[in-house]
Chain A
Amino acid sequence: MKIAVCVKQVPDTWAEKKLSDSDKTLDRESVDGVMNELDEYAVEEALLIKEANDGEVVAVSMGPDKAEETVRKALQMGADSGIHIVDDSLAGSDSVATAKTLAATLKDQGYDLIIFGSESTDARMSVVPAMVAELLDLPQLTFASKVSVDGDAVTIQRQADYGYDEVQASTPAVISVVEKINEPRYPSFKGIMAAKKKPLESVAAPSGEPVGLASARTEILEFAERPPKAAGVKIEDDGTGGVKVADFLAEQKLI
């Protein structure tokens, strides 16, 4: 079984994030990058499927030079090889251009499964997995909280408010996972050292598709810094505290 797992480098969740003044995109250089948290679950799921069924796991990431660290992290966790799509022309790509780039890279490579995290913590669009499935004309098994593989049948549980739907497709297929699905491993020291010797290929953007900021169908017109935190409201409980708290929440449209 040949599995691709798509991983994205995002700014550290705890870091103060900034948009750059020049092109109004996220300033990725000034903050530490980490693997998008949900992608760690995707890597874990890919490794679990590989361990149960044999095969190989290829980690794929599109991003600036620094994003190589994130491919490396997937290799340290246990992926067999990595592909880093890095190209100046890709800077500022929107989700459509990203999906096209990934799809062109993944196409016709014999992948049985292509696994994603269901969203990234920076853009939070949740659309790239579906777009890639559409572009590759593959079934999409999105928002999976459980995946089981039996021969060429893949079944997932898709999280829903009322419980879950069971969705099945035959391979090749695209899967996106939610965080309930597993507990991602951390790399062992041996994994860290072994990753140094695993193949990690840098490839340019596949030609033919318009990508980058100029091709983006969305544009950020304006942005402002988050206003500083205002002082909270103190409610003294003279017996009517509960009512006052409820009134406050109602005023904020929270209840």
Chain B
Amino acid sequence: MDEFTTPERTALAETVREFTQRHITAELPQWEAEGRIPVKLHRLAGEAGLAGLSYPEAVGGSGGDLVDTTIMIEEMLGAGASGGLIAGLFTQGIATPHVIDEAQRRRDRGETQAADYLEDNYIRPVMAGDMIASLGVTEPDGGSDVSGLRTRAQSDPEDPDTLIVNGAKTFITSAIRADYVTTAVRTGGPGAAGVSLLVIPTAAPGFTVARELDKMGWRCSDTAELAFVDVRVPRLNLLGAEQGFASLARHFAVERLTLAVTGYATAQRCLDLTIEYARNRETFGKPLISRQVIRHDLVEMHRQIDVARTYTRDVVLAHARGEEVMTRALIAKQTAVDTCSYVVDRAVQIHGGAGYMKDSEVERHYRDSRILGIGGGANEVMTDLASKLLGY
């Protein structure tokens, strides 16, 4: 027994498998076609305690940690879900931690009412699966360069309790369905130091989904371009003045680790599907798996997955122990992304023509996984950051 196979985590794994088989796998193709997942699924995830799995019980979460999230992602993919589904169902994983942190800061300062305001309106409903939250950072003229963002929030000269937002965001996951967007806005001067996070309710006048974006993969996960025209937002929704960049940086490690888990778990699923296919498919009178070329291919896939999983899980454990894992999270993500790219490619290859068909699962993983080296920090930008952190 290790920390991933305690009795409780074994039970969590079973619950996630059951959840996936009962509520997801049969309907996933339809959601892929429709370009979104139903709100009902968020409620079911809330009831199962998965929507708030790794958040404190004090704010309506389930009280787990990143190890639990890791198990959830592994099992969901293993049972036939997809990276896109996970991105769409658990977008709060990138949107809500900033709100939770600010509520805690307010509580620490004794501002109970202001803390309750965030908790009751923007945290608990998300943990329960009654609300959908997005994170809006990327803008049409710049994604990797967060410090250069141009969406502005300015005080209303007539009402100091209100901020007025103007600008645009793009590539925002779940924002077509979201109830609020934790939005990176410029409240101060130029550069990273002038960036704040602001909770913008999507019902606010002046907020519009400018475009529903059509994508190569992650098709069941809706993605939006957003426009903000004189959107009035209570100042209470500001998650710390000019604290935005620090808050984003603090949570990047978790986002990157969950993407790393998505990477190796997608690869593991593709390997499992490919082994089964290679056993059943006969060519020249023998099963594919009887060919040494194919067996060695499978071993190489296995090798890369096992290394990515072992390293990533090690970093996850370090994070759960409270260690600083910024650099290791970058390495985990790069390793798992490379593994996933390699494995989905080989999986499609070994499936032959069947692997190129829309109704084969490996075809979907092949398209879905292309995003992993772009979102949550593009490969090149991450490598550059790693070189700085390592002092090279």
B65 to chain A, nearest CB (A): 12
Contacts of B68 in A (CB 8 A): 189
B308 interface residue (CB < 8 Å to A): no
B12 interface residue (CB < 8 Å to A): yes
CB <8 Å contact, B7 and A188: no
CB <8 Å contact, B15 and A186: yes
B138 interface residue (CB < 8 Å to A): no
CB <8 Å contact, A189 and B62: yes
CB <8 Å contact, B7 and A189: no
A35 to chain B, nearest CB (A): 10
CB <8 Å contact, A188 and B48: yes
B50 interface residue (CB < 8 Å to A): yes
Contacts of B15 in A (CB 8 A): 186-189, 192
CB <8 Å contact, A189 and B14: no
CB <8 Å contact, B11 and A187: yes
Given the interface pairs A69-B7, A73-B11, A76-B11, the reply to whether A189 lies near B49 with Cβ below 8 Å is yes
A187–B68 Cα distance when bound, in Å, is 15
B307 to chain A, nearest CB (A): 27
Contacts of A244 in B (CB 8 A): none
Number of interface residues of B (CB under 8 A): 18
A193 interface residue (CB < 8 Å to B): yes
B356 interface residue (CB < 8 Å to A): no
Whose C-beta in chain A lies nearest to the C-beta of B21? A186
- Main secondary structure, interface of B, reads helix
CB <8 Å contact, B8 and A193: yes
Number of interface residues of A (CB under 8 A): 13
A190–B53 Cα distance when bound, in Å, is 9
Interface string of A98-119 (1 = CB under 8 A from B): 0000000000000000000000
A72 interface residue (CB < 8 Å to B): yes
B47 interface residue (CB < 8 Å to A): yes
Identify which of residues 154-204 in chain A touch chain B, using a CB-to-CB cut-off of 8 Å.
Answer: 186-193, 196
Whose C-beta in chain B lies nearest to the C-beta of A73? B11
B18 interface residue (CB < 8 Å to A): yes
Contacts of A69 in B (CB 8 A): 7
B291 to chain A, nearest CB (A): 22
Whose C-beta in chain A lies nearest to the C-beta of B50? A189
Of B7, B8, B14, the residue contacting A186 (CB under 8 A) is B14
Of B12, B18, B22, the residue contacting A189 (CB under 8 A) is B12
Interface string of B14-50 (1 = CB under 8 A from A): 1100110010000000000000000000000001111
CB <8 Å contact, A189 and B53: yes
B64 interface residue (CB < 8 Å to A): yes
Q: Hey, which bits of chain A sit against chain B, CB under 8 A?
A: 69, 72-73, 76, 186-193, 196
Residue pairs across A and B with Cβ atoms less than 8 A apart, 6 shown, are A186-B22, A187-B11, A189-B15, A189-B68, A190-B62, A192-B15
